[in-house]
Amino acid sequence: MTTGFGTGLWIRRFHPSPGAAGRLVCFPHAGGSAGFWFALSALLHPRVEVLAVQYPGRQERRAEPPAEDLGDLADALARVLEPWWDAPPAFLGHSMGAVVAYETARRLSTATGRGPAALFVSGRRAPSTHREEKLHLADDRELLAEIVRQGGTPAALLEEPELVEMILPALRGDYRAIERYRYHPGPLLEAPVTVLTGSEDPKVTPEEARAWEDHTTGATEVLTFTGGHFFPLQHQDRIKALIEERLLPGAAPPRPRP
């Protein structure tokens, strides 16, 4: 596998693993950063190398405007990842990141004729299922209250005015991009898709999760974990084991669709 991955602005390589048997590119949620995947990267090291995507508009990329269009974001990421498509990695995306991962995979499949080794989508309904959402139009208080309700951000952190000032532009920009996103039918992926959902997640119904099977010719499996929208934070060990089962030599593929 390629070992000289150029990280640049877009990729954080927290635990370089030149001899890893697998590689996983991770895409964060709306308002999130590459650091969301640090703990999983540490767990998977050194058998699977994690490359965490850093979107513009946050942390060391604060001076850049956040992406206004999810398609443009996927275009940019496809260009970043294409030089390393000699051995396609697997993709993992949470919430908005699941759609970014999917759209990036579509572009790379079209450009190279090969999709990712596998696609893991977490906490997000299938792209073809639409809900009318306009949180990006809410005032700051309502927007921040919603992310606290989802469980991914401790309320105490949002009592720091300087921190709120730093995170709000990226948070609102990401919500604008994902809430304006509309799925456009096209060629199906060929990668196996593993859908991870939370038992108490109001963002994804069982039907919306199963609809991911309409986006690939590969096997699709839906797995439910206890918890709400940010259930992955409670199940790092189980998710680590699942990824290793799917990606490492002798991996068990998702169960084929009936």
Catalytic site residues? 95
How many beta carbons lie within 10 A of that of residue 255, not counting itself? 12
Bridge partners, residue 93, by sequence? 27, 121
The pair phi, psi for residue 92, each rounded to 5°, is -135, 125
Give the integer Cα–Cα distance in Å for 194 and 171.
27
Is the distance from CB of 197 to CB of 204 less than 8 angstroms?
Answer: yes
The pair phi, psi for residue 52, each rounded to 5°, is -100, 130
- E strand map for the chain: 11-12, 22-27, 48-53, 90-94, 119-122, 193-198, 220-225
Q: Scanning the structure block, which residue is given the tokens 């700051």?
A: 140
Kindly report the three-state secondary structure assignment for every residue of 79-146: HHHHHHCCCCCEEEEECHHHHHHHHHHHHHHHHHCCCCCCEEEECCCCCCCCCCCCHHHCCHHHHHHH
Residue 48 has, within 13 A of its CA and on its CB side, a CA count of 29
